[in-house]
Amino acid sequence: MEKTHDKPILRQIAQLGQPVLREPARPVDDPADPAVQALIDDMLVTVSDANGVGIAAPQVHEPLALFIVASRPNPRYPHAPVMAPTAMLNPEIVWGSDETEKGWEGCLSVPGLRGLVSRHRKIGVRYLTRAGELREEEYTDFIARIFQHEFDHIRGLVFVDRVDTRDLVSEKEYLRIIA
Ligand code: ZN
């Protein structure tokens, strides 16, 4: 992992084809590790700068089980609900509703494309906060979708793995016609 630094820095985002996106991530041993804390700070500025609603550590070339959910309306996701940016370490999906829903997803590692992905509409999850506290939460709809998308990243999956290619569209057309 990179050394710690005083101020958060924008990280390079791994693009589809880079092997780090296909490796299973390893658990975070010590959330208090200054390198982990610095990584979280970097991911927070990187996801905001890129107009993302979430980012996983493998997307910034760190194969760790850690991601940020940072839902808010932005030019890439005009209808996203607002949620305070939250770092989730060693996340788990405890249960998923039988009810699934197809919805549009994009990915900072797959620029220019959107696809319809089927996800659980509701999930129960567990994760550690950046302070090392265990949280159990339930999420629905778009936030549940972000969690499932980011959870895929830490297992080496990307959303296009789950898309029928006929449900894949260019981001430009998506923003013009569908959003
Ligand atoms: Zn992604």
As a whole number of angstroms, the distance between CA 85 and CA 69 comes to 6
Confidence of residue 129 (pLDDT cuts 50, 70, 90): very high
Q: Which of 152, 172, 158, 57 is nearest to 107 (CA)?
A: 158
Query: What CATH number is given to the structural domain containing 53?
Result: 3.90.45.10
Structural domain for 53, as ranges: 19-178
> Could you tell me if residue 117 is inside a domain?
yes
Average pLDDT, the chain: 95
Nearest CA to 151 out of 179, 115, 120, 174 is that of: 120
Residue 11 lies in a domain: no
Within a domain: residue 3?
no
Tens-digit pLDDT profile for residues 61-83: 999 999 999 998 888 888 889 99
Q: What's the pLDDT score for residue 177?
A: 83
Is residue 6 included in any domain, yes or no?
A: no
Identify the pLDDT of residue 2: 56
- Residues whose CB falls within 8 Å of the CB of residue 14, separated by 6 or more in sequence, listed in order: 20, 21, 58, 59, 60, 61, 109
- The answer to whether residue 78 sits within a structural domain is yes
CA of 141 to the centre of ligand 1 (A): 17
96, with CB counted inside 10 A (0-12, 13-18, 19+), is: middle
* CA 25/CA 63 separation, integer angstroms: 4
23 belongs to the catalytic site: no
* Number of domains composing the chain: 1
Please check whether residue 105 lies inside any domain of the structure.
yes
Residue 36 Cα, ligand 1 centroid: separation in angstroms?
20
Structural domain includes residue 12: no
Cα 2 to ligand 1 centroid, rounded to whole Å: 22
**Catalytic-labelled residue, pool 92, 105, 137, 150:** 150
| C-alpha 107 to ligand 1 mean position (Å) | 4
Q: Answer with the residue of higher pLDDT: 1 or 162.
A: 162
What is the pTM (predicted TM-score) of this model?
A: 0.94
